[in-house]
Amino acid sequence: MTTNFFEIGLDYNDATRWYLGQPATTEGKLLPGAFRDCVRWSDSHPLSVDVMKDGEPASFNHSGNSVYIVATELMNVLRKIINPDLFQGVPVSVIGRAEKYEILNILDEVDCVDEKNSEFSRWTAEDGQPNRIGDYRISLLRIDPARAKWHDLFRAKEWNIALICSDRVKEILEKEGVTGILFKPVVHRE
């Protein structure tokens, strides 16, 4: 049986929920993209995040730039089912709120993009961003489940924008009543 995998995305259809901004240092320096490169965060200084649009708090939040802010209770569930060497919870305070949240810093990167069934191009010199030349520009992501086998929560190599989970993690998150996200299948089916 082929394991199914899902991209975790924001639930744009829920107009009642809040939206969080980018994490920032106590000095107010924003950290866009700091948690998407599968590198352990070692700075022990406190981080905070603003509520950009008030509403119902969500247990799993996408705050842009591939940053995921997750309720600590849900992070504790993940700690029970996923090898703790493959992700990190970085404490973050939501300004004006007492609930505890953490930035989900994924450390597991898997070379699994299914180029045959994905729709993509690659950055070129003409795009004016020399540091991105050769990187994917994916409009439809499909991953190879054989190459992602044994991974439960990870980012795709060369397309670290996407956060991907196994069907096992999806089922556990749904059972725990996760709010704020949708699961989009990323395995090609004939």
Quick: pLDDT tens for 30-58.
998 899 999 999 999 999 999 999 999 99
Q: Is 57 domain-assigned?
A: yes
Task: Enumerate residues 6+ apart whose C-beta is below 8 A from 120.
Answer: 113, 136, 137, 138, 139, 140
The pLDDT score that the predictor gives to residue 2 is 52
pTM for the model: 0.94
In our burial notation (b when 16+ CB lie closer than 10 A, e otherwise), range 45-72 reads eebbbeeeeeeebbbbbbbeebbbbbbe
Contact by Cβ (8 Å): 58, 179:
yes
The pLDDT score that the predictor gives to residue 12 is 83
The pLDDT score that the predictor gives to residue 154 is 98
The pLDDT score that the predictor gives to residue 13 is 85
* pLDDT confidence band for 1 (50 / 70 / 90): very low
Q: Is 44 domain-assigned?
A: yes
Rounded CA-CA distance 154/167 in Å is 13
Q: Is 85 domain-assigned?
A: yes
Average pLDDT, the chain: 94
Instruction: Report the residue count for the chain.
Output: 190
What's the total number of domains in the chain?
Answer: 1
Give pLDDT tens digits for 96-131. 999 999 999 999 999 999 999 999 999 999 999 998
Instruction: Specify the DSSP element, H or E, that contains 136.
Output: strand 136-140
Rounded CA-CA distance 34/125 in Å is 24
Q: Is 190 domain-assigned?
A: no
* pLDDT confidence band for 189 (50 / 70 / 90): confident
Instruction: Specify the DSSP element, H or E, that contains 76.
Output: helix 72-81
Region of poorest pLDDT, from 2-6, 60-64, 165-169, 185-189: 2-6
Structural domain harbouring 66: 5-185
Count CB-CB contacts under 10 A for residue 101.
27
44: which 2 tokens?
């022990």
